């Protein structure tokens, strides 16, 4: 199948990828638009994975107050250069992450930040629940591990389904932006306040 300029233009507009990358994706997929998009996405995520160990000390601090001012979020999102930090796309990502945190109320960025005593307390609760329900001892540990995975997806920002597109996680969203912007992006820290919440 002949790859036309119009096909390349359409793919470029849909993905933001370079002209040569769009041509190669269309050639690899035999002109199939959806397959070309998938090809570019996989290539971009593979490239993004290579960038995750690069230093990211530039970026911005985003402050977000939910309508009604009952929930507020402040976060630090880092990238490698001041140039990328000033782009509308990076700023939009920071805003979307703040909005997501306001809505989903994560407690940690990733599972490696969850304190061991919190993990052990959750396991103890799940184990007690399983035994109380009369589950056989031999499957209790599998039940505990399954519930612990759900717990991580609830409290860890990177594992939560993104509020604007639940087909992807927040980690997927950040990786897509790493691929698009060509720099490592790191969610450094955040704090979320909700009016009337306990200070303990």
Spell out the residues 6+ positions from residue 49 whose beta carbon is closer than 8 angstroms to its own: 175
Q: Which two tokens stand for residue 43?
A: 């290539």
Place of tokens 């939560």: 160
Q: What's the confidence (pLDDT) of residue 66? A: 85
Strand arrangement, sheet containing 58-65: 58-65, 71-79, 186-194
- Measured CA to CA in angstroms, residue 82 lies from 14, 53, 59, 60, 62 at distances of 26, 18, 6, 9, 15
How far is Cα 152 from Cα 160, in angstroms, rounded to an integer? 8
pTM: 0.69
Q: What's the confidence (pLDDT) of residue 26? A: 86
How far is Cα 85 from Cα 77, in angstroms, rounded to an integer? 9
**pLDDT tens for the chain, residues 1 to 200:** 788 888 888 877 776 666 777 888 888 888 888 888 787 777 765 454 555 566 777 899 999 998 888 999 999 999 988 899 999 999 999 999 999 999 999 999 999 999 999 999 998 898 888 888 888 888 888 888 999 999 999 999 999 999 999 999 999 999 889 888 888 899 999 999 998 876 55
Q: Which two tokens stand for residue 37?
A: 């998009």
Q: What's the confidence (pLDDT) of residue 52? A: 54
Cα angle: 9, vertex 41, 98; to 5 degrees: 105
Q: What's the confidence (pLDDT) of residue 18? A: 67
Q: What's the confidence (pLDDT) of residue 15? A: 66
The helix (H) or strand (E) run that includes residue 59 is strand 58-65
């Amino acid at each position: 199948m002949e790859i036309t300029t119009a096909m390349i233009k359409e793919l470029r507009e849909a993905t933001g990828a370079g002209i040569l990358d769009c041509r190669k994706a269309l050639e690899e997929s035999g002109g199939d638009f959806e397959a070309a998009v998938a090809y570019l996405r996989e290539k971009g995520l593979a490239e993004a994975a290579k960038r995750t160990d690069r230093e990211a000390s530039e970026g911005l601090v985003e402050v977000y107050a939910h309508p009604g001012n009952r929930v507020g979020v402040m976060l630090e999102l880092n990238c490698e250069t001041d140039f990328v930090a000033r782009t509308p796309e990076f700023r939009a990502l920071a805003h979307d992450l703040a909005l997501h945190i306001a809505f989903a109320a994560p407690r940690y960025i990733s599972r490696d930040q969850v304190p061991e005593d919190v993990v052990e307390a959750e396991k103890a609760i799940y184990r007690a629940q399983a035994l109380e329900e009369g589950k056989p001892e031999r499957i209790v540990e599998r039940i505990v591990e399954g519930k612990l995975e759900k717990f991580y997806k609830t409290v860890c920002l990177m594992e939560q389904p993104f509020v604007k597109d639940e087909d992807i996680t927040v980690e997927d969203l950040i990786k897509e932006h790493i691929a698009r912007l060509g720099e490592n992006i790191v969610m450094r820290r955040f704090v979320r306040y909700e009016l009337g919440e306990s200070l303990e």
